[in-house]
A and B are shown apart, each in its own frame.
Chain A
Amino acid sequence: MSRTTAISVAGLRKRYGDHEVLKGVDLEVPEGSVYALLGPNGAGKTTAVNICSTLLAADAGEIRVAGYDVRMQADQVRRSIGVTGQFSAIDEFHTGRENLRLMADLNHLDRGRAGTAIDELLERFELTDAAGRRAQTYSGGMKRRLDLAMTLIGSPRLIFLDEPTTGLDPRSRRELWSIVREQVADGVTVLLTTQNLDEADQLAHRVGVLDGGRIIADGTPAQLKSRVPGGHVEVQFTDAARLAQVAAVLPEATPDAESLTLRMANEGVASLRRLLDRLDDDAVAGLTVQSADLDDVFLALTGRAAETRSGSEDEMEAAR
């Protein structure tokens, strides 16, 4: 295999009883790049990550991580990777510093070097002030940052991030993104899973859309967006009656009575003109033409909308 391929998965299958979660997944992640597995709940994202990170045995398929076979050379794989899972993998009874010390020791770093590395990580993840407090008392965002710091203390060349920002507020999410970008700038390879289309768009060089156990589309965010070239048009109405009136004559458009908006796929000048011909000046409060985002892509590929963020947070609550 090529030295520049960090992860290669071919024909990965996994079944739980009667339910086949992964039905033959193929993917390649070049070294130093970010690959996002995008998909709704139950698409098999976590299962794929667990198999690649040696936590779970596959039923079939050839999986090589950092050049090693995940089943036959699990220890070599483990030496090369760092994993931050969906559920916090920190020791709640330890302080932030003690958690990092624990990881430094398990990574067999020498004591002096580890001390400096710990201080640097605490500083960079804005945990210095909380370093002496038990992790139990940390907020969700702090726990996630500590979790990632624990993953990074061994300087892995390849990291797996399973829904790294699920349940985080927007500010914490952006902070985490910038940490991931720093890692990538240092040449680290990242495989991340997400339900958040914006996140995949922000971070990934390549996105695989996983749905029903298969990669149904694979490409750069730009390539995926080019599948729905025009994006969509959104018209903001002043009142519900006008909205209903226009929606009645434009069956291809989707009205939203609550926000008083009408959304229609942008299929070129002719379709735009047809829309504009139906609009009265005093009925329209605003009009925007939006380039395609990954939401449009997901809708075009699967025929249904991607899960919303609040859905995934509810699931997190239920799993606790």
Chain B
Amino acid sequence: MSTRAMARPTTSYVVRDSVTMLRRNLLHWLRYPSLAIMLVAQPIVFLLLFVYVFGGTLGAGLPGVPGGGDRGDYLVFITPGILIMAVASVALGTAIEVALDMTGGIIARFRTMDIAKVSVLTGHVLGAVVKTVFAVVVTLAFAVLLGYRSEAGAGSWIVALALLLLMAFALTWLTVGLGLAADSVETASNTPLFLVMLPFLSSAFVPTAAMPWGLRHFAEYQPFTPMIDSLRALTSGAEAGWDLWLAIGWCVLIAIVGYLWSKRLFTRVPTK
């Protein structure tokens, strides 16, 4: 008598099937590492670029540093933004992976099997969270190598890392949707590019006060700014306060919208 013959509700397999799909996702990463390496390298390239090319000048313009800052001050200022770029970078990769997956015949096989359908997607999301941990650790290690030091305690760092993971979770559900909605892998690699652009229009690289009126308002209210500001506060040992709640709120909202959208795109029975 096979186990499958026992009539158990499909929902009880959500966890088991998701773990199976996570393993599949991570195995892809190991077998085909070039995409992952490119995505992890991207924030590091930006870090080097901003610290060594622009850092001297931009550091001098930092407010609140007596006598103007230097390259080292600027490194401290942009590290939270760079960490968030690492998160966005992995999320972008997920859109590509999902779109690639959908072009393969194996998805049709999954659709004809009695599995928790959402596990095909949760495998990608959980995989992205694991990859984000890796990307954040590597990026942070690079920053430390360049001279980044933090005065924050372990408690603040734990909150900061938890926030990064929450962001990874939320942005990935969004990019899973973008990957499903894309009609080709090329489209899927373009539509999430705004995630890499948005940090430039936030408080990541310069204080928003330095921007012209219209841009300043956009930068102050877009979701990345409270995320970056609370991360900056947490990693420097300050109180994140209201920004943290705002950041968490944005993440929860993005995750819910992304999840519902992705689920709808994936589970409908196609008519063509």
Write the residues of chain A forming the contact surface with B, with a CB cutoff of 8 angstroms. 16, 53-57, 71, 74-76, 78-79, 81-83, 85, 87-94, 98, 102, 105-110, 134, 150-151, 154-155
Contacts and interface: CB of A to CB of B under 8 A. Distances in A.
Interface stretch (B2-10, B148-156, B197-205): B2-10
B110 interface: yes
Contacts of B32: 93
B106 A89 contact: yes
B24 A91 contact: yes
Contact of A16 (B20, B108, B272): B272
Given A56-B269, A102-B20, A93 B113 contact: no
Contacts of B108: 55, 83, 85, 87, 89
Given A90-B106, A93-B27, A106-B20, A53 B112 contact: yes
A189 B109 CA distance: 18
B50 interface: no
A106 B17 contact: yes
Contact of A89 (B2, B109, B114): B109
Nearest to A136: B31
B264 interface: no
Nearest to A106: B115
Contact of B105 (A54, A76, A81, A87): A87
A98 B28 CA distance: 12
Nearest to B10: A75
A69 to B, nearest CB: 13
A105 B23 CA distance: 11
Given A85-B105, A90-B105, A109 B2 contact: yes
B22 to A, nearest CB: 11
Interface of B: 2-4, 10, 13, 16-17, 20, 24, 27-28, 31-32, 104-106, 108-115, 269-272
Contact of B3 (A76, A94, A98, A110): A110
B2 A155 contact: yes
Given A56-B272, A155-B2, A155-B4, 11 more contacts: A55-B112, A55-B270, A78-B112, A78-B114, A83-B108, A92-B104, A94-B24, A102-B24, A108-B4, A154-B2, A154-B113
Contacts of B16: 105, 108
Contact of A85 (B3, B10, B13, B109): B109
13 contacts: A55-B112, A55-B270, A57-B271, A85-B105, A85-B108, A87-B105, A89-B106, A89-B108, A93-B27, A93-B31, A102-B20, A106-B115, A107-B3
A55 B13 contact: no
Contacts of B17: 105-106
B27 A83 contact: no
Contacts of B4: 79, 107-109, 154-155
A148 to B, nearest CB: 12
Contact of A109 (B3, B105, B111, B113): B3
A71 B24 CA distance: 29
B111 A55 contact: yes
Given A93-B27, A107-B4, A56 B270 contact: yes
B106 A108 contact: no
Given A91-B24, A102-B20, A109-B2, A57 B269 contact: yes
Contacts of A71: 269
Nearest to A70: B269
Contacts of A74: 269
Contacts of A134: 31
A54 B24 contact: no
